[in-house]
Amino acid sequence: MSDFLHDFARRFADLDAGNLHRLGELYADEVHFTDPLHEVVGLEALQRYFAALYANVTQLDFEFIGFDPVREGEGYLRWVMSYRHPRLNCGQLISLEGCSLLRWNGEGKVERHRDFFDAGALLYQHVPLLGPAIRWLQRRLT
């Protein structure tokens, strides 16, 4: 199980805007992908989602820091995603910790991918005007 997680993480980290056709090597045709901002069903829809994601950033990197098998065909990856978007955080690097629940089939392809992360830390806190208001509110609540 841990071998699958390590291999998937390595291959996923190698993805970029120029090789998204390789998603079919990692994901089943009927993949169900969810994160706090999106829900995507099917490999073609996942390819469109990733193409749009890579089109809007100038840098996107994943560092995988944890590999946690749960049972046969299921496990978690813990990661740090670093990215640059020209309209967020003045184009400076943004880093975010998260984890992914993966369930894969007997053919070694992921059928379920669910990401868990703080959407505010990913996006909202870095939007001009909205970001300062969110940070002010967070300080008030703590």
Residue appearing with tokens 């969110």: 134
Q: Which pLDDT belongs to residue 104?
A: 98
Phi, psi (5° rounding) for residue 25?
Answer: -80, -20
Which two tokens mark 49?
A: 């989602």
Q: Which pLDDT belongs to residue 139?
A: 63
* Structural domain count of the chain: 1
Give the pTM: 0.82
**51 vs 126, higher pLDDT:** 51
Distance CA 127, CA 110 (A): 33
- CATH no. for residue 67? 3.10.450.50
Task: Write the DSSP symbol of residue 15.
Answer: -
Rounded percentage of the chain residues whose pLDDT exceeds 90: 62
What are the tens digits of pLDDT across the range 75-96? 999 999 998 877 776 777 888 8
The whole domain housing 109 covers 2-141
Other Cβ atoms less than 10 A from the Cβ of 30: the count is 12
Q: Which pLDDT belongs to residue 39?
A: 96
Mean of pLDDT over the chain: 86
Q: Please name the amino acid found at residue 23.
A: L
